[in-house]
Structures are given as C-alpha cells and as structure tokens.
Amino acid sequence: MVEVAEIMSRRNFLPENITMNNHITGVIIQARTGSTRLPSKILMDLPYGSGVTVLEQVIRRVQKSKQTDIIVIATTKRNEDDIIIDIAKRCGAEWFRGSSSDVLSRYYHAATAFHVDTVVRVTSDCPCIDPVIIDRCITSFVEQDVDYLSNTLSRSFPHGLDVEVFSFKALSSAFKKAVRPQEREHVTPFIISNNKRFSHGAVSAEAGEHGPEIRITLDTLDDYMLLCLVFDYLYQCNPFFGVKEIVSLFRRKPFLNLINRKILQKRPCNSLEEEFSEALRLLELQELNKMVSLIRENRTYLLHQKQKNSSNEL
C-alpha cells in the first residue's frame, strides 16, 4: 500500500482549488492487469491500433466530469501493475496501491488517503463510461440525500456505463463490518444488501438512453471485438460519444448485439437464493438442462442443509 506520508509528499495530490477543508468528491477507478478471463485487457488498444489503452480512454472520459474534484487509480501492489501507475501519471490522475483481492479495503484506504468525502466508483473495463451520467449520478446523490446511489439497482442503461456513488461514512462502515468474500471483492454488496442500515437512491435512463440489453464492457475477446466496432463507428466524429450515440448505433446496427450476446455478465449475489437463481440462469444459457433439472429438484434440500450447517457453526 502506498504510505500516506508518500502521498502527502506529492505537492499536487489535490487540485489547487480545493483543500482538505472542502467537501471532496473523488472518482476511484479500480484497475489491475490480472483479469482472469482476459489478462491485461485494460492495456489493449482502443481504437484498435491507436496506441491508446482502454485504461487511458476511461481516465480521459472521467476527466470530462464537471462534478468531480479528483481522480484516483486504485491498483494493486503487484509488480505487473507498475504500468498502471505509469498510465495514471501520464494522464494526470492520482494513484494508490492496495490489496489485490480485498478491493473494498483498497477503496477505503484510497479514499482515506485522499480525503474523499463522496466516492464515485468506476471500473477500468468500461471504456465507454459517460461523464454526463457520472455528473447526473453525483447531482442525484446530493439531491436525494442518500448513503448510496447507482444507475444499476434497476438496470436501464447499457452494461458498461455503470456508476456508483456513496458516502465515505458508508464505505467506512462496509470496510469495518463486511466479512463475506464477495463483499470484500466487489466493494458495495454490503451497502446494497443492508437497505435498513443504508439509504439507497437510483438514476434511470432517460429518453434515448434505454438499453439494458446492450453490453459494452470488456471481459472477453468478443467484447473487445464489439468495442472496436463501436469506436470505429463513433470515435472519429466524437471521441467522447455518450449513451445516446451508443443506443442509437445499436438501434441502427442491431447485428452488434449478436457479437457478445452469449458472454456471461458477472455479478455479486447477496444470498444463497440469489446464487441459486443466477446459477440456473447461467446453466440454462449454456443449455445444460440436466444440471438445471438436478438443481431444481434438490434446491429445497440444499438450502436446508446450508442453513443447518450455518446453525451448527454458531
């Protein structure tokens, strides 16, 4: 982890127009090269052959936000992620190094080090992230006066335009109390699942923005192929094309949806029931019908055994 003293020694670690006495809204972008499905995906060129990495595209787009004070790239302490620090420096973003597996810890310590009061979570595999949506989410977070807000609680935007906004207080509570592995890995499940402890808000797509069936995030080579096509169609006219241009493109070129339609979107589950439902959905997508039938026939028994084992552990 980067020591706080080292961060403080960087004279420009906060923009000149803000001080520690200001309320600081910071975008923290989690980034690492060790993706399981597509290693070093955030270092791939986009547009293809341009020499500009996926991570650089994310940073450039976030820098267009008008509601944020600081951008921090939160990466790991592994040697292979040194290149991420190089990119952050080149793009004028701040950086922080923390745990490779406990991403919740990484966010907490990054936010603490840079005195962030309102945390905006963006991931580095979303090179179409829209700064207009980021600003809308931040504004709505303040107006709704909630602990947590996102545009994904009820999916209306395309996958890959995901924004989460939450208070440092909520992040601190999650850091101290979350214990399940998925809560530590995915940062916000503890906040989302505890809706009696934390107040929630939402932002939904407006006219011309609705596209929950569209997937423009990067996890596989099929995703990369699709993103290359999207950038080929839109980038030259407007390097910072937004959600309306994306949705319009997919309406005009519906074949684009075919390229990565069988890619399985990973998402954290907050209960065993949710995991059963998600497992059935993924098995059905792969047409593994015998296993689907087996799980359905034994679902009640398996849930009962899990509850029994949990009681015995207590």
- DSSP letter for each residue of 48-61: TTSS-BHHHHHHHH
DSSP state of 151: S
Mean pLDDT of 235-246: 98
Q: Is the pLDDT of residue 165 over 60?
A: yes
Query: For residues 125 and 41, is the Cβ–Cβ distance under 8 A?
Result: yes
Q: Is the pLDDT of residue 111 over 90?
A: yes
Q: What is the largest CA-CA distance in the chain?
A: 62
When pLDDT is cut at 50, 70 and 90, the band that residue 8 belongs to is very low
- Measured at the alpha carbon of residue 28, what is the angle toward residues 31 and 173, in degrees to the nearest 5? 110
CA dihedral (90, 94, 99, 100) positive or negative: negative
pLDDT (tens digit per residue) in 222-233: 999 999 999 999
What tokens does 69 get?
């004070």
Task: Phi first, then psi: give them for residue 149, nearest 5 degrees.
Answer: -145, 145
Q: Which residue has the higher pLDDT, 11 or 281?
A: 281
The predicted pLDDT at position 21 comes to 62
Q: How far apart are CA 95 and CA 300, in angstroms?
A: 47
Task: Phi first, then psi: give them for residue 271, nearest 5 degrees.
Answer: -155, 165
The predicted pLDDT at position 300 comes to 73
Average pLDDT, the chain: 88
Q: How far apart are CA 172 and CA 81, in angstroms?
A: 26
The predicted pLDDT at position 261 comes to 79
Mean pLDDT of 14-23: 66
The predicted pLDDT at position 262 comes to 67
The predicted pLDDT at position 289 comes to 77
Mean pLDDT of 88-100: 97
Mean pLDDT of 105-110: 98
Q: Is the pLDDT of residue 73 over 90?
A: yes
Percent of the chain with pLDDT over 90: 74
Q: Is the pLDDT of residue 2 over 50?
A: no
Mean pLDDT of 121-145: 98
Q: Is the pLDDT of residue 75 over 80?
A: yes
- Measured at the alpha carbon of residue 258, what is the angle toward residues 58 and 222, in degrees to the nearest 5? 45
Domains of the chain: 4-202 (3.90.550.10), 272-313 (no CATH)
